[in-house]
Amino acid sequence: QKEVEQNSGPLSVPEGAIASLNCTYSDRGSQSFFWYRQYSGKSPELIMFIYSNGDKEDGRFTAQLNKASQYVSLLIRDSQPSDSATYLCAVNSNSGYALNFGKGTSLLVTP
Amino acid sequence: DAMVIQNPRYQVTQFGKPVTLSCSQTLNHNVMYWYQQKSSQAPKLLFHYYDKDFNNEADTPDNFQSRRPNTSFCFLDIRSPGLGDAAMYLCATSLRGRTGTQYFGPGTRLLVL
């Protein structure tokens, strides 16, 4: 069974700090990796994607991928209270078209 | 603005009483998805359509069915809801070549009494 694992949290960081969210996946055939943000009671929203090993930066967000270790992470710099949400890691393999979501990590940014 | 719309936003039904949830999109995406999400759990894919081609996930209960009469609309039918079917139902869309980039509707919260 293809699994995506995340620490459920909550991860609490002070405002202005770096939040680090981690995700591991079991399917070595996975090719594409996504981070979705989900506010409480709302639907998921795509914030980052990464396909190649290394780092990808977009504003305050950096996605990191290590396929050898089957590990993907999301860094949020200068965390704001508005970043408080659940962050879902999702993985897409070439052999399938469906996204496999993790359960999400709850992030709380305290003022 | 292009978007994914779900109706109703909240649905209360009785145990065993059929219910239909609807989804429409103005993004002109050819792929549409239905997910079930329970509290503190990952969204669970129930079905997806590539254009009119229907794809059912292996562990989706027979109680759940779907229809896509045209590109813009998709329906989720729950034939005999049980208490365990209470959840948020999310509709999403994507382009065929970019299935990881999905656009979600606001969801329908289903309560089964």
Supply angle C-alpha B68, B27, A63, rounded to 5: 110
Please give the share of chain B, as a percent, with pLDDT higher than 90. Answer: 84
- State the burial class of residue A52 (Cβ atoms within 10 Å of its Cβ: 0-12, 13-18, 19+): exposed
Using DSSP, state whether A47 is helix, strand or coil: strand
pLDDT tens-digit series, residues A61-78: 999 999 999 999 999 999
Residues 6+ apart with CB under 8 A from B17: B80, B81
pLDDT higher than threshold 90 for residue A8 = no
Shortest alpha-carbon distance between residue A38 and chain B (Å): 11
Residues of chain A neighbouring B57 (CB-CB closer than 8 A)? 98
pLDDT over 90 at B84, yes or no = yes
Strands A71-76 and A19-25: antiparallel
CA distance A44 to chain B (A): 6
A32, A42, A104: residue with CB nearest B42: A104
